[in-house]
A and B are shown apart, each in its own frame.
Chain A
Amino acid sequence: MSRTPPWLVALRIVCALALVALAIVPAIWLAMIAVQPADADLRSVGGGFTLNNFRGAWAEGGLASATLNSVLVTFSRAGLNVLLAALAAYPLARMSFRGRDICFVLILATTMIPEQVIVVPLFRIVAGMGMFDTLAALVVPFGVSAFGIFLCRQAFLQVPWELEEAARIDGAGPLRTWWNVMIPLSAPTLATLALFSIIAAWSDLLWPLVVLNSPEKYTLPLAINELLGQFATNPRYAYAGSVLALVPIVVFFLAMERWLKPSLFAGAVKG
């Protein structure tokens, strides 16, 4: 505690620098390549500066509509996730009723099913509901996750009983108690869940690939995938497109960062 030996200080600094480099070099390298003119060498950076790749990616990759679609899908999916998870978690945390434990176990069991394994029938179910090639197909099936329910339940378990009782005495029913007591007191957890949902939805690749068909419905990852494809005119457009997909989520994360408490991660996994 008191005195840290110099070798340990040095080791910490070296490790910290190495990890920082690991964390940010790939993205920075990508950005530096993305601003290079078409004739520059891919091996080195700094061979000029141009925004042409961004213009090209924006025009050819249909990034305007892809960005709009991604934003729409991401926010509706995150909103739905928080709402449904918080609703479902309330009785699981605070009420006793027949079948509660079995419900909870079954909900947790869905986490063991890899999405990629069920993708064939999931596609049939979604298509059968008339959602093939719609943005709704990206939102509805992933409108709630067992992880989210679990996270909310953990938060609700921490809310003091007295507050709930007080609300009851004042005559609030379950829905009102949920809205006026549980939700405000669990705000950090709900924000964390929203952040996780946003990260997942923004990054989602396989499912949109399967369920979307028309390019004007594409989300950003699909648009980048197209720019990477063999018919793409300029590989640098894909790099520029990747930078454009990265910036909004990083900015959003930096804005949300103060909500992110490590203890919530512990709750998320410890149970």
Chain B
Amino acid sequence: MSAPVGSTAGGLAQATSPVRRRFSLRPGSLTPYLFMLPALVVLGVFFVGAFLQVVYYSFTTYTAFSPPEFVGLDNYKRVLADDRFWWCLLNSFIYLLVTPALILLSLAAALIVRSSIRTGRWLRLLFFLPVVTPTIVAAVAWRLLFEDQGLINSIIALAGLDPIGWLTQRPWTLITAMTVTLWKGFGFYMMIFIAGLLAVPKELEEACALDGAGPVRSFFAVVLPTIWPVVVLVGIISSISALKVFDELFITIKGTPIEHQTVVPLVYEVAFVQGTGDFGLACAMGLVLFVIILVFSVINLRLTGAVKGGRP
């Protein structure tokens, strides 16, 4: 891909600044802001605007039937007194168990892909297919497998065990939803690990082998320490998305009591499903979850230094 650097000086060219190692702009030039304007409008109106309203509503009585009226911390007191909230928060934290499983599975997938150039490319392709599968399709497919008389229970029956109510009984329902998350996620994190593994110095691995270390030894002595930052990163990213999970639960374990689900489905339930449309309470619940996610995100930014660096 060559860069077709225009030899034609277009009508757009208005600033012929002296050649420097950076784009020098006249002070106060609007150019950078104009570039960012459309994106900032969209993010500002739809995300920041909506978020500020969530903060406001969380301090009001606002339901489907009554306009917002300021009530101070009432909604937050109701959140803390709400048993459903504590159950769902507990489930959200249990849901974080997908993270270690995801790390193991995606790292294993990456190591396998890396071990063979010929088949690796095909395996990578296959492992990525769940990532492109629409969540509702994934949920429908897994519901079939987890049905009372589905494939998984048939296999369990072959082992002489009783069938399990994967779609109806606690704690199995949560495990069922986590399976869908795991299935849809491991191919994505595998890609990150493949990239991370490229940074493992071949010479070190070879030196290790020369010294008589087996593959297990060299994995723990060379490979794992090199990619450790990637492991941490995958852990944080997947934890954040585990806390935000909704789609998998919404379809896969449709119809189970809300206490079997996590915080985001509870927010949806309080706002849209239960008859009163208690938006104030839903917003307060959402904000409590937001604070928890914020903590994870701050750790993420700290560890990855996404904000620093890259100064032109």
- A interface vs B, CB < 8 Å? 1-2, 4-5, 8, 12, 15-16, 19-20, 22-27, 29-30, 33, 42-44, 84-85, 87-88, 90-97, 100-101, 103-108, 110-114, 116-122, 124-126, 140-144, 146, 149-150, 153-154, 157, 161, 163-176, 178, 180-181, 184-185, 187, 199, 202-203, 205-206, 210, 220-221, 224-225, 228, 238-239, 242-243, 245-246, 249-250, 252-254, 257, 260, 262-263, 265-266, 268-271
Contact = CB atoms under 8 A, between A and B. Distances in A.
B287 A95 contact: no
5 contacts: A23-B126, A96-B311, A111-B297, A118-B50, A242-B141
A167 to B, nearest CB: 5
Contacts, number: 346
Contact of A144 (B38, B307, B310): B38
A125 B44 CA distance: 12
Contacts of A150: 306
A114 B286 contact: yes
B29 interface: yes
Contacts of A29: 141, 144-145, 151
B276 interface: no
Q: Contact size class for B?
A: 35 or more
Given A26-B138, A87-B38, A220-B134, A116 B264 contact: yes
B304 A5 contact: no
A144 B39 contact: yes
Interface stretch (B73-81, B82-90, B165-173, B189-197): B189-197
A263 B304 contact: no
B42 A141 contact: yes
B22 A96 contact: yes
Contacts of A246: 133-134, 137
Nearest to A154: B310
Interface of B: 1-10, 12-17, 19, 21-23, 25, 29, 31-33, 35-36, 38-40, 42-43, 45-51, 53-54, 57, 105, 108-109, 112, 115, 119, 123, 125-138, 140-142, 144-145, 147, 149-151, 154, 183, 186-188, 191-192, 194-196, 198, 202, 205-206, 209, 214-215, 230, 233-234, 237, 244, 246-247, 250-251, 254, 264, 267-268, 271-272, 279, 282-283, 286-287, 289-290, 293-294, 297, 301, 304-307, 309-312
A1 B183 CA distance: 31
Given A242-B140, A271-B304, A172 B9 contact: yes
* 10 A-B pairs with the lowest CB-CB distances in the bound complex, closest first: A271-B306, A171-B9, A91-B32, A117-B286, A266-B195, A121-B53, A88-B39, A203-B134, A173-B12, A262-B194
A121 B50 contact: yes
A113 B47 contact: yes
